[in-house]
Amino acid sequence: MCPKDEHLKRPALSSQFKVAGLTFRNRVVLAPMSGVTDLPFRQLAWRFGAGLVVTEMVASRELVGNAAESWARLRSSGIDPHVVQLAGREAYWMAEAAKIVAGNGAAVVDINMGCPAKKVTGGYSGSALMRDPDHALSLIEATVKAVDVPVTLKMRLGWDDQSINAPLIARRAQDAGVQMITIHGRTRMQFYNGKADWDAIAAVREVISIPLVANGDVATIADAHEILRRSGADAVMVGRSSQGRPWHAGVLAGAAAHPDIAGIVSIVEEHYAMMLDFYGADIGIRHARKHLGWYLERFAPLATSTEKAAIMTSTDPAAVIARTIAALSAGAVSLQETDAAA
């Protein structure tokens, strides 16, 4: 029976699911997003009830070489289970990095074979690995053999429409010992254009027995139920729809409620303070700008370009947060419509 015909049997988003010997508290996963899901964002998403959060991708060779940024991305600070995503193009460095990750408390090592960014694929990492399944499998096998913790894999449907090889790689990855697979329903060449193909993910479900997570264009509870129905997946992963809404995965899972404007203001204040504390004031101000932009885009549609520019260019933390709060408070009248549209 095709997975899409078994929608009545799909589990509730709020229910637990297991990967190897681990139990995750619900079936809504926050996607690893480079430059977005740093430790402060993950801590907020976890607190609001995401079933699982994953680090930004950690470059394997750079981690082994003690690069400060890679070590910063590795940090957990109380999130349990701690899931770290590794990226790389050589089996040796992936294996060595996996040992470091596991030795520093990771409960799961996730392999990145899905990132479409040119700076990643240009180095033959991320989704570029899907162009050479044999080489990709050598990385997977080396990583699995290097650690005792579960190894998972995130990838796309294929490199382009002429090479939809996710089912082939998924089956081989399962045989190599991978314990869970996440599929973004686009090819690399699509980047984030067009609509994710949720039906195509079902072809992976048909060839593997390990847990499957479906990803791509999941913004609402209805989306989450539909992608599960059409893909046959066990869980959903949300990415861009969480930008400016660290509580979003928890809301989809039924673990949290949409905050009102007072709640949003409080979260934004806390998020900003967390980022300054994590990165230091100078770097934190710069890294926080994208997050403030997303908050303003979603919840302060009445803010003028002049107001936004003042927030994005200021180097005074107190002025930045004061202006942001003022803009969000002024946009409160449209909050209900904004949440409904999202």
Tell me whether residue 115 is one of the annotated catalytic residues.
yes
Q: Evaluate whether 172 touches 208 at the Cβ level (below 8 Å).
A: no
Tell me which residue has tokens 């709060």. 325
Residue among 52, 84, 115, 149 flagged as catalytic? 115
> 85 has which bridge partners?
110
CA distance 331 to 306: 15
Q: Side chain identity at 70, as an amino acid letter?
A: S
Contact 156, 127 (CB under 8 A): yes
Q: Residue 188 and residue 56: Cα distance in Å, rounded?
A: 18
Name the residues annotated as catalytic: 115
